Chains A and B, each alone.
Chain A
Amino acid sequence: MSSSMLNNLPEDVLMDIFARLPVKSLLQFKCVCKSWCNLIKDPIFITKHVNKSALGNNGYLAVTRQGSTFGGNCSISLISYETFHEVIRITIPSKEYGKAPFTIVGSCNGILCLNVTEIGDTNFLFNPATSEFKELPKPNYPIHELKEDTISDFIGLGFGYEPESNDYKLVRISYSKRLENQFYSGVDVYSLSTNSWRRKNRLVLGTVLVNSFSKAFINGALHWRGVTLKRGDVRCRIISFDVGSEVTRYIKLPYKIDLAKEEWWPFVRNGSLAMVIRSKTHEEHHYIFNIWKMNEYGVKKSWTKQLTVGPLFVLKLVECGMNEELLFATHSTMYLYDLQRIKPPHDDILEADIIGNNFVPWVEVVNHIESLVTIEGTKVYAKRVRKNSWFGKYFIFFQLLFGLVVMVAYVVILPKLIHFFYPTNVSE
Chain B
Amino acid sequence: MSSVKKVTLKSSDGEIFEVEETVAMESQTIKGLIEDDCADNAIPLPNVTGHILSLVIQYCKEHTSSSDSNSSKSNEKLKAWDTQFINVDLNVLFDLIMAANYLNVKGLLDLTCQTVADMIKEKTPEQIRAMFNIVNDFTPEEEEEVRRENAWAFEISLKNNNVVDTFEVEESMAKELQTIKNMIEDNYTDSVIPLHNVTSDILELVIEDCKKHVEAAESESEPSYSLASKLIDDPLKA
A residues near B (Cβ < 8 Å) are: 1-10, 13, 16-18, 20-25, 27-34, 36-37, 68-70, 130-131, 144-146, 150, 153-154, 175, 177-179, 183, 207, 209-210, 225, 227, 229, 232, 234, 259-260, 263, 284-285, 313, 315, 330-333, 354, 357, 361-362, 379, 381-382, 384-387, 389, 391-392, 395-396, 399
Contact = CB atoms under 8 A, between A and B. Distances in A.
Contacts of B220: 285, 315
B121 A25 contact: yes
A7 B129 CA distance: 10
Given A28-B154, A68-B168, A70-B168, 13 more contacts: A4-B133, A6-B132, A20-B113, A31-B147, A34-B137, A34-B138, A69-B168, A150-B230, A207-B231, A284-B216, A315-B220, A330-B216, A357-B208
B146 A37 contact: yes
B158 A313 contact: no
A427 B76 CA distance: 75
A249 B228 CA distance: 20
B137 to A, nearest CB: 5
A16 B100 CA distance: 13
A395 B163 contact: yes
A68 B212 CA distance: 19
Interface string B167-210: 01110000000000000000000000000000000000001100
Contacts of B94: 5-6, 8-9
The 4 nearest A-B residue pairs measured at CB: A27-B153, A331-B219, A259-B225, A20-B117
A32 B227 CA distance: 58
Nearest to B144: A31
Contacts of A333: 208, 211-212, 215
A128 to B, nearest CB: 9
B122 to A, nearest CB: 8
B170 A69 contact: yes
Nearest to B100: A13
B72 interface: no
A253 to B, nearest CB: 13
B84 interface: no
A359 B153 CA distance: 26
B158 to A, nearest CB: 5
Contacts of A18: 117
A178 B116 contact: no
21 contacts: A5-B132, A18-B117, A21-B117, A23-B153, A29-B120, A31-B143, A31-B147, A70-B168, A146-B236, A177-B236, A178-B234, A179-B237, A209-B228, A210-B224, A225-B224, A227-B228, A315-B219, A332-B215, A354-B208, A381-B151, A392-B158
B157 interface: yes
Contact of B223 (A263, A284, A381): A263
Interface of B: 90-91, 94, 97-98, 101, 109, 113-114, 116-117, 120-122, 124-125, 128-129, 131-138, 143, 146-147, 149-155, 157-164, 168-170, 207-208, 211-212, 215-216, 218-225, 227-232, 234, 236-238
Contacts of A4: 132-134
A22 B228 CA distance: 46
A10 B222 CA distance: 60
A9 B90 CA distance: 13
A183 B134 contact: no
Given A3-B90, A30-B150, A389-B160, A260 B225 contact: yes
Given A34-B137, A210-B224, A9 B147 contact: no
Nearest to A314: B212
A261 B45 CA distance: 72
Contacts of B236: 144-146, 177-178
B161 A392 contact: yes
Contacts of B152: 27, 131, 382, 384
